[in-house]
Structure 1
Amino acid sequence: GPGGIIPPGRRRLSPCLLSVNSQITGSDTVILAAILAVCGAWFGLANPVARLPLLMLLLPAGLAYLAIRADTARQAAKWTYWTGAVAAAGNLYWTSLPVHDFGGMPWVLAVPVPILMGLVLGAYAAALALAWRFGASRLPAWLFLPYAAAAWTVMELLRGTLFTGFPWLTMAAAFSPWPMAVQGAAFLGAYGLSGLLAALAAAPAVYGLFSRPTLAVVLIAAALAFLGNRRLAEPVPRIAAAHVTLVQGNVDQSRKWAPEAEEETVEKYIELSRRALSDAPSDLLVWPETSMPFFYQDGGPLAQRVRDFVASAGVPLVFGAPAYERTLGGHVLYNRAFLLAPDGRTAGYDKEHLVPFGEYVPLGQYLTFIGKLVEGVGDFKPGASAAPLHQGDLALGTLICYEAIFPELAQKRVEAGANVLVNISNDAWFGDTAAPRQHLDLALLRAVEQGRALIRGTNTGISAVIDPRGRVMAQGGLFSALALPCPETPIVSETTWYHRCYGLITWGLPALFVLLGLAACLRPVRSRDRRPGGLTL
């Protein structure tokens, strides 16, 4: 009721998220919880101001508090919807930049883009909160905690699958700067790890800071930290190592596709590579996504220059370029990664998961008014093969651009035999924002999940080499032309528990959520003195 007063006869959960002065009203604590949740998401994930990964836990804690603090389910959905929407919109602020700078949209139309995305993503937060509210009112603590973890995992799975999928704001990615904290992804995957962390954060909000469930959470968190550090101390089971050199051209995106700039771009990459090879030999050169802004497959003087350089250097090269295939209906365009060997042999991988409104327009025949968003890029078609690109001991599982944010794609690459993951990308679209760092944090999780080194070559940054434990071995900066060597990139054939049990985890955690949800349905709503707040294990 108004001011946090409970009307007579109204039953309500009584959580304790924060130790607040008794004079603070219920509405004040609700506002405070929402603010802390939004700020936690902002400062927990990569942003241009300051960052502390641990603050990300305030988001699930705040959502849990709001869910059970509300008088009704409708009120809980409303509070958590807007909290989730604002948190998502804030972290996706950068989406307005490519729409304005490269899509030709005025700011008045570009600025609402992250807001609209937040309004969609807020629905996931509201659905999660309703599930948590339902479970907390019926399940004992020892069942509610796994239920809460499974519910968050299902939310992230759905967010990464529905409407082509957008798993950008995965909670586990907030902890990528702390390798110790993300080792659980090798066993549960990023979504499962997110769910576990969310449940640990929600427990104090549901049961109180000084309750037995919260004590159990502290012990579980300590065990996770111990196991994470122990796994980092173990040697990586590599079968060999390769000297990899990444070349970051820092080519201006606004000039990249201009025909007069093609020769300059080719020469820039060749010169940066030549200098790097003069300093130290390399087993593999990596240039970014569409680093060659022409149809390499057609041959011609520029393609011949690339072939001549690779032959004279004696080093295989991975690079990106547009490609096409002739069909009865015309030409089909692909975003392709080429592997060019010194003897002239060429293999390729065509991007499988395309960026909607960036590489193609969904229902483009009807949405003709947004054609400008893909101007200069083309309307691409997805590739079909996940086979690795082979060169000597290297079996390169290739991920182009934001394919690195999808766990299932990295799974397919390793399943097909990849012993190293390669992610070539062009993050120039995002400008000097938090997006390149957020993208790197998500890609890092694929290395931990699959137990593979990840080589990430970008046009403007952030290029990096990440070891199978999620430790950054080499990293470049933003908007600088550079060559980044990494002499001991591990080649690994052993797989992680997550990889081996991928199907069990992917389907098992949602099944756990359903089973515990059914168990909750069969249990009565607990009496007031048994509700969270006074509940013990």
Structure 2
Amino acid sequence: MSTAARVFATARALADRFAALSGWRRRLTLVGLGAFGALALPPVSLLPVLLLSLPALVWLFDAAATRRAAFGVGWWWGWGWFIVGLYWVSYALLTDPAKFGWMIPFAVFGLSGLLAVFLGLATLTARLVGARGTGRIAVLAAAWTVAEWLRSWALTGFPWNSLGSVWDVSLPVLQFGALAGLWGLSLLTALAAMAPALLADSPSPRRAVLIGLLTIGLPLAAWGGGSWRLALVPPAETGLTLRVVQPHIPQGTKWLEERRESHLFDAVTLSRGTSLDTVAAVIWPEAAAPFFLNLDDQHRAYAALAAPPSGLLLTGALRITPRGENPFRLWNSLYAIAPGGATVAVFDKAHLVPFGEYVPLRQLLPITKITNGSTDFTPGPGPRTLTLPGLPPVAPLVCYEAIFPGQVVGHDQPRPDWILNITDDGWFGLSAGPYQHLAAARLRAVEEGLPLVRAANTGISAVFDPLGREVARLGLGERGSFDAVLPRPLAVTPYGRFGDSLPLALALACFAVGLACGKKRP
């Protein structure tokens, strides 16, 4: 027996073993496969695990006898994927375990179950359209991609750990995001990783070639094109120096009344560690100034001591309605503060974190939000381009607003020259969460062709050029600051111009090809 024949025979035997599973063994296997596949996510980034995890999902899909079973294939696999990928959500609840510890099972297992519904809908769709034969790979990959896109906006959206995010480990492949964004990378990944399932079909030279083209050829083509792009576009700088401050304030002490003054003092001290004469702006993380700066002239003036003589302090801080005004409202904001304490501009966060910054269905759910206080935050107006004195126009993103593809530049806004992401990943400790958050923000830079500056309370703070190349970084759990020259932006990318329409068109074309192939003899 030839080597190729042995490979096909081994794959067939594996597929038969998976197909023979039933009941709890089948469900537990799917959960385990999804959890194993999640090792491909940052910071572990073991991409080869997908070459077992996703082909096995296809084989279990093939064996699904009913529509319910077909839905279950995606749901159980997705449940395992999200449990391992989002375990770090529990860290935020441990900041006050007596008050929020009981929510951990709901936050990890319940949220994972909700997100897994979208993958269940993908496998159910493939079953409903009769995906079979070689074409079922294309149909499944396309349905998977569209399901992930739906997850980015349904119920306010949560596109964390989409399949395409595994490519943060490869900057050349990540360049494909400039053309087709995160969803294009998800489609590429699903096609490449599911294709080995075809080894369990009847062996043929044409099938072997197709598997090779999908599993090796697609990523290799993306890598080659990305490498060419990286070589073609050398790094370029604006000449403006920015100072990024990472104060590393423990989440448990951040809002203690007796510690707030010292936190502000520390941030100012870190900012003024060396001369500010050549710095255009000092950047602090989300809520780095633990006071309501719009009403607190004294502390705003003190924070302004961190502003360069001819520049600005860009800091996160909360904002409330002026005294006596109704209704009382609260915003999570970015302030631009000039020397002396004058507020030049304010941006309010639009994408709020459910249960973190507001409680959905508050009238029905007798719980409080995780952040301090009982008042829900009010969402801002959405993506904006801020024009600030002495700086190029900027697109601010507060915290997890950076995980949303295509929502960096407002539709009615001028194109910015850079992206500023301020965040407080201190909620998630020394876990995978901050690494995954950083990877998402970096991909926004590649998608839009804009440099990204990121200031995080406990890390990871970094600066990336518009191709995602790292300029500077301060690691997770470190305290300090760094200076970096702001890179120049590129011309608008295809994804920046057309948004999700390009990857969705690719997914629909893939879906149509898969259906057409499925009508042929398997």
Instruction: Tell me the TM-score normalised to structure 2 length.
Output: 0.87
Q: Decide whether aligned partners of structure 1 residues 387 and 78 sit closer, same or farther in structure 2, where only a CA change above 3 A counts.
A: closer
8 A Cα contact 2:50 2:193, kept in partner: no
* Shift in Å, 1:61: 3.1
Q: Secondary structure at the match of 1:410?
A: coil
- Asked if residue 119 in structure 1 is aligned to residue 124 in structure 2, the reply is no
Task: Name the counterpart of 1:10.
Answer: none
Task: Name the counterpart of 2:64.
Answer: 70
Q: Decide whether aligned partners of structure 1 residues 508 and 156 sit closer, same or farther in structure 2, where only a CA change above 3 A counts.
A: same
Task: Name the counterpart of 1:44.
Answer: 40
8 A Cα contact 1:61 1:198, kept in partner: no
State how far apart, in whole Å, the 2-side matches of 1:87 and 1:272 are: 40
- Asked if residue 460 in structure 1 is aligned to residue 458 in structure 2, the reply is yes
Letter in 2 for 1:365: Q
Task: Name the counterpart of 2:319.
Answer: 323
2:125 corresponds to which of 131, 138, 143? 131
Task: Name the counterpart of 1:496.
Answer: 493
State how far apart, in whole Å, the 1-side matches of 2:18 and 2:140 are: 28
Task: Name the counterpart of 2:304.
Answer: 307
What CA deviation, in whole Å up to 9, does each residue of 1:240-280 have, x standing for no partner? 243222100011211211222222111101111111436x8
* Shift in Å, 1:195: 1.3
Letter in 1 for 2:437: H
State how far apart, in whole Å, the 1-side matches of 2:363 and 2:128 are: 43
8 A Cα contact 1:203 1:214, kept in partner: yes
State how far apart, in whole Å, the 2-side matches of 1:41 and 1:341 are: 48
State how far apart, in whole Å, the 2-side matches of 1:415 and 1:283 are: 24
Q: Secondary structure at the match of 2:368?
A: helix
State how far apart, in whole Å, the 1-side matches of 2:196 and 2:102 are: 42
Q: Decide whether aligned partners of structure 1 residues 104 and 423 sit closer, same or farther in structure 2, where only a CA change above 3 A counts.
A: farther
Letter in 2 for 1:154: V
Task: Name the counterpart of 2:152.
Answer: 160
Q: Decide whether aligned partners of structure 1 residues 475 and 239 sit closer, same or farther in structure 2, where only a CA change above 3 A counts.
A: closer
Greater Cα shift, 194-203 or 183-192: 194-203
* Shift in Å, 1:132: 3.5
2:162 corresponds to which of 162, 167, 170? 170
Q: Secondary structure at the match of 1:115?
A: helix
8 A Cα contact 2:462 2:471, kept in partner: yes
The Cα RMSD (Å) is 3.2
Structure 1 gaps of 5+ residues are 1-14, 532-537
2:20 corresponds to which of 27, 51, 58? 27
8 A Cα contact 1:349 1:398, kept in partner: yes
Letter in 1 for 2:89: T
Task: Name the counterpart of 1:205.
Answer: 197
Task: Name the counterpart of 2:438.
Answer: 440
State how far apart, in whole Å, the 2-side matches of 1:423 and 1:59 are: 33
Structure 2 gaps of 5+ residues are 1-7
Q: Secondary structure at the match of 1:198?
A: helix
Q: Decide whether aligned partners of structure 1 residues 269 and 414 sit closer, same or farther in structure 2, where only a CA change above 3 A counts.
A: farther
Greater Cα shift, 209-218 or 151-160: 209-218
State how far apart, in whole Å, the 1-side matches of 2:518 and 2:138 are: 19
Q: Decide whether aligned partners of structure 1 residues 275 and 201 sit closer, same or farther in structure 2, where only a CA change above 3 A counts.
A: same
Q: Decide whether aligned partners of structure 1 residues 42 and 502 sit closer, same or farther in structure 2, where only a CA change above 3 A counts.
A: closer
Task: Name the counterpart of 2:180.
Answer: 188
Greater Cα shift, 255-264 or 377-386: 377-386
2:250 corresponds to which of 245, 249, 252? 252
* Shift in Å, 1:70: 3.0
Greater Cα shift, 425-434 or 54-63: 54-63
Letter in 2 for 1:251: I
8 A Cα contact 2:181 2:500, kept in partner: no
2:363 corresponds to which of 362, 365, 371? 365
Greater Cα shift, 301-310 or 445-454: 301-310
Q: Secondary structure at the match of 1:301?
A: helix
State how far apart, in whole Å, the 1-side matches of 2:425 and 2:254 are: 13
Letter in 2 for 1:387: R
Task: Name the counterpart of 2:93.
Answer: 99
Q: Secondary structure at the match of 1:293?
A: coil
Q: Decide whether aligned partners of structure 1 residues 252 and 297 sit closer, same or farther in structure 2, where only a CA change above 3 A counts.
A: same
Letter in 2 for 1:392: G
Letter in 2 for 1:235: V
* Shift in Å, 1:435: 0.7
Greater Cα shift, 15-24 or 74-83: 15-24
State how far apart, in whole Å, the 2-side matches of 1:230 and 1:206 are: 31
Alignment of 1:255-404 (within 5 A): 255-277=253-275, 281-310=278-307, 313-326=309-322, 329-342=326-339, 344=342, 346-367=344-365, 369-376=366-373, 378-384=375-381, 386-389=383-386, 390-404=388-402
Letter in 2 for 1:283: A
State how far apart, in whole Å, the 2-side matches of 1:35 and 1:163 are: 24
State how far apart, in whole Å, the 2-side matches of 1:17 and 1:512 are: 32
State how far apart, in whole Å, the 2-side matches of 1:374 and 1:114 are: 18
Instruction: Tell me the TM-score normalised to structure 1 length.
Output: 0.84
Letter in 2 for 1:177: V
State how far apart, in whole Å, the 2-side matches of 1:52 and 1:25 are: 23
State how far apart, in whole Å, the 2-side matches of 1:332 and 1:25 are: 55
Q: Decide whether aligned partners of structure 1 residues 391 and 16 sit closer, same or farther in structure 2, where only a CA change above 3 A counts.
A: farther
8 A Cα contact 1:320 1:338, kept in partner: yes
Q: Secondary structure at the match of 1:246?
A: strand
Q: Decide whether aligned partners of structure 1 residues 195 and 227 sit closer, same or farther in structure 2, where only a CA change above 3 A counts.
A: same
Letter in 2 for 1:123: V
What CA deviation, in whole Å up to 9, does each residue of 1:4-53 have, x standing for no partner? xxxxxxxxxxx989375799674369789747732443311135xx4423
State how far apart, in whole Å, the 1-side matches of 2:158 and 2:484 are: 31
8 A Cα contact 2:34 2:79, kept in partner: no
> How many corresponding residue pairs?
503
Task: Name the counterpart of 2:11.
Answer: 18
Q: Decide whether aligned partners of structure 1 residues 376 and 22 sit closer, same or farther in structure 2, where only a CA change above 3 A counts.
A: closer
State how far apart, in whole Å, the 2-side matches of 1:493 and 1:225 are: 20
State how far apart, in whole Å, the 2-side matches of 1:262 and 1:72 are: 59
Greater Cα shift, 246-255 or 23-32: 23-32
* Shift in Å, 1:413: 8.1
